[in-house]
Structure 1
Amino acid sequence: MARLVFIEGQVTASAPQQMTSLSDKLARFIDLTLQERTYLANVQTELVPMRAGADIIRAGQTYRCIYVLSQGMAIRYKVLHDGRRHVLNLLLPGDLIGLPGCMFQSSLYSISGLTDVVVCPLSFDAMFELFRRHPRLGAAMFWIAGHEAALFAEHLVGVGRQSAYERVVRLLLELLFRMQIAGLADERSYDLPLTQELIADTLGLSVPHVNRTLRRLREDGLISLQGARLTCLDIPALSRLADFDGVNLGGQRVPGL
């Protein structure tokens, strides 16, 4: 059983919440055997709680493990020399932290908790042993990495070619479908985890531009926003606007496994 490891400056969330393990993530793509589940449980032996805003990984530093985000939400970002920040993506429970940065001498990006988080470190040795002893699990890990690469490509298309209106719509829809998969959203609404500043940093926009775009979406009857609760009122219309297909966000299961 995984155990909580307390480190100075790190805390658990104030109330127990459902933990998401690497087993939960991989089970979306392959049917895990009892042996595989037992192996994964044995390598996930530590849970490290961290406060919101604390860096899990810091750009420029070397590290010898990846992490599973077991609880909470985090962001992957990069800060330029003049202090400008670009948020690359939002990380949800079950997501892997440290790819592709672990393939380089030092981390290319920083990752910090958007909320209080709990992470499970997996050493490189443990990962290499997983590939050697359990090739099916290695194939599923490869599948996850490819899936994340496709999401990054879609973000690049959006930032490079879509209007601000289309970019915001796409991000809101992506969050809806990804949070549904993680059990954090209902059929069409969720608690928006990103502030307008974070949305701006994700889409390469200014905060006033994001504010105007959200207001326009409300006026057009496409979304409602009550406090932090966002509801997508017309998902088909929003999907057409953003050239968005949520079916692919879940990822296809590994064929033959």
Structure 2
Amino acid sequence: MASGTAANQHSKWRTPCHQCPLRSLSTFRDFSAKELEFVAQFKSGELSAERGATILVEGMHSAHLFTLLSGWAFRYKLLPDGRRQIMNYVLPGDLVGLQGSLMEEMDHSVEALTPVTLCLFERSKLERLFERHASLAYDVTWIAAHEERILDEHLLSVGRRTALERTAYLLSFIHQRAHSVGLNGGARRVIPITQQHVADTLGLSLVHTNKTLRKLADRKLMRWHDKGCEILDEEGLLALADWEGLRDGMRPFI
């Protein structure tokens, strides 16, 4: 469960599963009638958290797993001296807490990057999903495998791309993921991250990150704002990163 007073659980959720806004997005595979009925029973409530709230803590045991319904979050690990490594960013439709449900405890933490709403699912009912709904069980397996593939790409970027290339890759990756779930469909395509988030994701110092972002801005590929990064030239970022972009078609969610 999220920590602090910024989190608020709703016993009667505001978004019935049959009215879920994610179902209207072409990115996601829709449920069959039986699947939708099960997911509606599987869901036990909703959780709201403000920016900066900790949703899950490394080492904790949780009775729930979650699907992000709205907003942005990120997964991270801390070293004993407080240094942070951001592993990945969580966007609407992403499953959170599966590791804690299957492995008994979390080995990373999750923090809200913006105000978020999450759907809560009872961990105790997860076994029933695998027993009664093979298609949903496959979806959970697909989600876990997809996360592994993303982390593989991130590791390649951190290990082998230059600082400029890996920053271009990161911004391209987040931008494309946000676009796929309708988070940056407006005229200004702003990613709500700070330079510290970029540094903690790429393993760079804040000074090096600032210099690298200035180089991207000088090439008119992006523009930095107080509350985030605006993407100006998506194709230019892809070319600089030498990355072909996301290849995912329709994907599942729970």
Distance 1:150 1:77 in 2: 17
Partner of 1:125: 124
Give how far 1:36 is off: 1.3
Give the whole-Å Cα distance in 2 for the aligned partners of 1:188 and 1:113. Answer: 24
Distance in 1 (CA, whole Å) between partners of 2:93 and 2:108 is 19
Corresponding residue for residue 4 of structure 1: none
1:37 is aligned to 36
Q: Give the corresponding residue for 2:73.
A: 74
Deviates more, 1:166-175 or 1:38-47: 38-47
Q: In structure 2, do the counterparts of structure 1 residues 42 and 27 end up closer, same or farther at CA, with 3 Å as the change threshold? A: farther
Q: Which amino acid aligns with 1:231?
A: I
Q: Residue 149 of structure 2 aligns with which residue?
A: 150
Equivalences for residues 134-213 of structure 1 within 5 A: 134-186=133-185, 190-213=189-212
Asked if the contact 1:18/1:71 (under 8 Å) is kept, the reply is: no
CA-CA distance at 1:115 after TM superposition: 1.6
Query: For 1:186 and 1:241, how far apart are their aligned partners in 2?
Result: 23
101 and 166 in structure 1: CA distance in 2 versus 1, 3 angstrom threshold: farther
Stretches of structure 2 lacking an aligned partner (at least 5 in a row):
none
| Structure 2 counterpart of 1:53, one-letter code | G
Q: Which amino acid aligns with 1:204?
A: G
Identity within the alignment, %: 34
Corresponding residue for residue 3 of structure 1: none
- Shift in Å at residue 245 of structure 1? 2.1
1:34-90 per-position Cα deviation (integer Å, ceiling 9, x unaligned): 121122122223011122222111111122321111122111111101111111111
SS in 2 for 1:245: coil
Instruction: Report the counterpart of residue 7 of structure 2 in structure 1.
Output: 10
Partner of 2:7, secondary structure, is coil
Q: 1:217 to 1:77 in 2, by over 3 A?
A: same
Q: CA RMSD in A?
A: 2.9
Distance in 2 between residues matched to 1:252 and 1:185, nearest whole Å: 19
SS at match of 2:246: helix
Whole-angstrom CA distance in 1 between matches of 2:30 and 2:109: 33
Q: Decide whether the 8 Å contact of 1:25 with 1:94 is kept in 2.
A: no
TM-score by structure 1 length?
0.83
The equivalences for 1:44-55 within 5 A come to 44-55=43-54
Partner of 2:89: 90
After TM superposition, the structure 1 stretch with the greater mean CA deviation from structure 2, 166-175 or 217-226, is 217-226
* Alpha-carbon distance, 1:247 to partner: 3.4
- 1:231 paired residue number: 231
Amino acid in structure 2 at the alignment position of 1:89: N
- Quote how far apart the aligned CAs of 1:220 are: 1.8
- Residue 230 of structure 1 aligns with an amino acid whose one-letter code is E
Structure 1 portions without partners, runs of 5+? 1-6
Query: How big is the shift at 1:156?
Result: 0.4
Q: Distance in 2 between matches of 1:209 and 1:220?
A: 17
Cα shift readout 1:114-134 (whole Å, capped 9, x = no counterpart): 122222221222222112111
- 1:176·1:189 contact (CA, 8 Å) conserved in 2? no
Letter in 2 for 1:199: V
In the TM superposition, what is the alpha-carbon distance from 1:24 to its structure 2 partner?
Answer: 3.5
What's the offset of the Cα at 1:111? 0.7
1:132/1:28 CA distance change after superposition, 3 Å: farther
d(CA) in 2 for partners of 1:190, 1:19: 29
Deviation (angstroms), 1:243? 2.5
Instruction: Report if the CA contact (8 A) 2:190-2:229 is conserved.
Output: yes
